[in-house]
Amino acid sequence: MKKFLLVLLISISAALYAQRDYPLIPRPAEVLSGEGHFFMRNDTKISYNRDTTGAIAEFLAEKLSVPTGYSIARSKGDGGVIRLLITDKYDNLLGKEGYRLNSNPSGVKIEANTCAGLFYGCNTLLQLFPADIMKNSATETDWKIPALEITDYPRFRWRGIMLDVARNFFNAQEVKRFIDQIAALKFNRFHWHLTDDEGWRIEIKSLPRLTKIGACRVKRYGVFGRRDAPKPGEKAVDCNYYTQEDIRDIVKYAAEKYITIVPEIDVPGHSMAAVASYPELSCTQDTSIKVSPGMEFAQWFGDGTFKMFVDNTLDPSNEKVYEFLDKVFGEIAELFPGPYIHVGGDECYKGFWEKDSGCIALMDEKGYEDVEQLQGYFMSRVDKILSSKGKKLIGWDEILDVGISEGATVMSWRGIEGGKKAAEMGHDVIMTPTSHCYLDYNQGDQSIDPQIYAGLRVSKTYSFEPVPEGADTKYILGGQGNLWSEQVPHFRHIEYMLYPRAWALSEIFWSKAESKDWESFSDRMFHFFERYDSAQINYSKAVYDPIVKVSSDDGQLFLKLFSELSDIDIYYTLDNTMPDNHSPLYSVPVPIPDGPVILRTRAYREEKPVSHMLKLEKKELLKRAGIFQ
């Protein structure tokens, strides 16, 4: 009996160890350790059992051939050392996107019900190899993976990332690179924010001014939101958009990575580029309106309300607007085969509507008492247009405030309450609250990271739970991270803002809720730093940086230093010298002396500096204590 219990204990420990030890993101549903390793050699072959999976074998062969320098053969049949198999009988546990991966010294087998499942299994296989598998040139190393058994499937159907290409444009090759990266993390939705005040980025053949004018703005540099407005007569020379040929190519490319693209045409607000192109679409019909180059054109108040200085909204009382949208969504529907089109609906200023005779007449006709109801009318008209094209409407959670059509899907961004309310009403919901999912927020201390109005650390992102307490889970499709690009001027900074937070979201949306473990994720995150270094993919190391807080007790300031990580030592100085691992080691709150002291602090891991060095002068320390001078 004792021997049996000992064997059982060892088996359980091995299984638990496997879950924590393998550097896989997102974390699989189940991992069982085996004995030994599988070694890949130059004569390794990949086989597949269906014609439809040949492309996946080709994908895997290329991913393995480039860093190893091996000529990885692939063929249909069952004779490969690495076998990719579509199941003969549907496995209900795996569903549409799950897979089983079995590796041992003799070979590797990946099984799935669908091509998508096989693709995800192949990406897990790649993660099991050493970090050098991510390199873009041949490297000599032991190309081995551990013997194990993985059974894996996603928690949510919708696992998305949004990229804004209106504020800053990214070309077709960069978009494909973005798709490659998120597909490797098992995301399956790419929400493409194509239009806004700062640019119209998609060709609409029946409305050529949208790209001739709406895709162009005057050239400006510097911090977005503080730039000069266009000057009278100044030529708009910064012009970028995707042709319909580009769109078709990218949609096809994404589909090959099992990603559905959800296009967004943001209306009725956020429409300055459309209004600049066709002024008759707005209430003011102001022909002097130009595409914003990143200027300030609104005043925001502390209660969340705002006032627009420029009319960037479509006129809900103008039938020409709906004729315009019918053309736009007609062409969009032809380009994107997915079931959804996102129509925005957020941050729509109604001040110009309130004064417009056409809007006032429409309110009288409909018996509306509140101008907000006009947006509900507008959205119902848009929903009918989309339905006529065979598409479903998605909007930001503001659409709940003004009445919502029966089949609409809600993206809950102003917290989770909008999503919870929508689910109670029987609407499908995608959870994407600013508190956990806004990837344009900075990741570290404001003194180091490029400044923006809010921060979001990776540990906070990892703490996200998409299903609110008491919500009906059948209406929660999943979640999404959003990367707005106002402060993201180039692709390297896309990567910096995405990672490691997109790793955290991939695990939240894919893995079992009960498997969430920050310590385990932290360990695997360190391995992924190495992998992304090998691939020359950028990422933020802000997770290493000390967190600095200051409190005041009866006039005495106290310094408090924290870390998101458990195996970090934080050293500091207050005497204007450079800290190292022989400086004071933080352990308890430190009294800050009077006078013009300067805090410098840095984190160490395993006796090596890993963080940025933070430098905060006395004025900033006082500010963090709530004392302003």
Alpha carbon dihedral 130, 135, 138, 141, in 10-degree steps, equals -20
Distance from C-alpha of 257 to C-alpha of 184, rounded to nearest angstrom: 9
DSSP states of 583-600: SPBP-S-EEPPSSS-EEE
**Does the active-site annotation cover 196?**
yes
- Residues 6+ away with beta carbon under 8 Å from 406: none
Q: Is 37 exposed, middle or buried (0-12, 13-18, 19+ CB in 10 A)?
A: middle
- Residues 6+ away with beta carbon under 8 Å from 140: none
Residue 246: how many other CB atoms lie within 10 Å: 17
DSSP states of 385-427: HHHHTT-EEEEEGGGGTT---TT-EEEE-SSSHHHHHHHHTT-
Catalytic residue chosen out of the listed positions 191, 193, 270, 427: 270
Q: What are the structure tokens assigned to 136, written together?
A: 């873009």
Which three-class secondary structure string do you get for 339-379?
CEEEEECCCCCCHHHHCCHHHHHHHHHHCCCCCCHHHHHHH
**Does the active-site annotation cover 245?**
no
Cα dihedral sign for 400, 404, 406, 409? Answer: negative
Pairing of strands 298-300, 306-308: antiparallel
Which three-class secondary structure string do you get for 265-314?
EEECCCCHHHHHHCHHHCCCCCCCCCCCCCECCEEECCCCCEEECCCCCC
User: What percent of the chain is helix, strand and coil (3-state, nearest 5)?
Assistant: 35, 25, 40
| Matching residue, tokens 């914003």 | 292
Do 414 and 432 meet the contact criterion of CB atoms below 8 Å apart? no
Q: Count H helices and E strands in the chain, helices first.
A: 18, 28
Distance from C-alpha of 379 to C-alpha of 268, rounded to nearest angstrom: 8
Pairing of strands 199-200, 298-300: unpaired
Distance from C-alpha of 495 to C-alpha of 409, rounded to nearest angstrom: 29
Residue 414 identity (one-letter amino acid): R
CA distances from 547 to 387, 450, 503, 567 (A): 50, 16, 21, 14
SS3 75: strand
Alpha carbon dihedral 110, 114, 115, 121, in 10-degree steps, equals -30
Residue 444 identity (one-letter amino acid): G
- Residues 6+ away with beta carbon under 8 Å from 1: none
Distance from C-alpha of 323 to C-alpha of 207, rounded to nearest angstrom: 11
**Does the active-site annotation cover 164?**
no
Catalytic residue chosen out of the listed positions 132, 164, 196, 507: 196
Catalytic residue chosen out of the listed positions 149, 174, 238, 347: 347
SS3 246: helix
Q: Cite the active site residues.
A: 196, 270, 347
